[in-house]
Amino acid sequence: DAGITQSPRHKVTETGTPVTLRCHQTENHRYMYWYRQDPGHGLRLIHYSYGVKDTDKGEVSDGYSVSRSKTEDFLLTLESATSSQTSVYFCAARGDVSNQPQHFGDGTRLSIL
């Protein structure tokens, strides 16, 4: 949707390993977001970016870091993955105008064994 691509789409890894998820957008949106989706919790914001190199924490940011070196790319890194980080991760983007919808990618299913 709206040119948002997430990679990989699926990943299985072991506890303690680093993991990086990538979000790429083609719409030149200023704002980008990373969410995790878990049953009963809906979408919870991990980190967001309001411009190149401008990022801030969301409600569940512990154990995660992000980077945005280009407008089109927003990376989410789990420095040392834990089983509690097993989830489906969604990237979203939004343009400059307030109160516009966010456009989501199709998610990355991450399993940490």
Q: How far is the CB of 39 from other proteins (least distance, A)?
A: 9
* 23 or 112: CB nearest other proteins: 23
Among 34, 36, 48, 74, interactor with other proteins by CB under 8 A: 48
Interactions with other proteins, residue window 49-108 (CB under 8 A)? 50, 56, 58, 90, 92, 98-99, 101-107
Q: Are 47 and 54 in contact (CB under 8 A)?
A: no
CA distance 77 to 55: 13
* Comparison of 48 and 64: residue with beta carbon closer to other proteins: 48
Q: Among positive and negative, which fits the CA dihedral 62, 67, 68, 72?
A: negative
Q: How far from 105 is each of 9, 63, 79, 83, 88, CA to CA, in Å? A: 10, 22, 23, 23, 11
Q: Which residues bind other proteins (CB under 8 A)?
A: 1, 4, 31, 40-43, 45, 48, 50, 56, 58, 90, 92, 98-99, 101-107
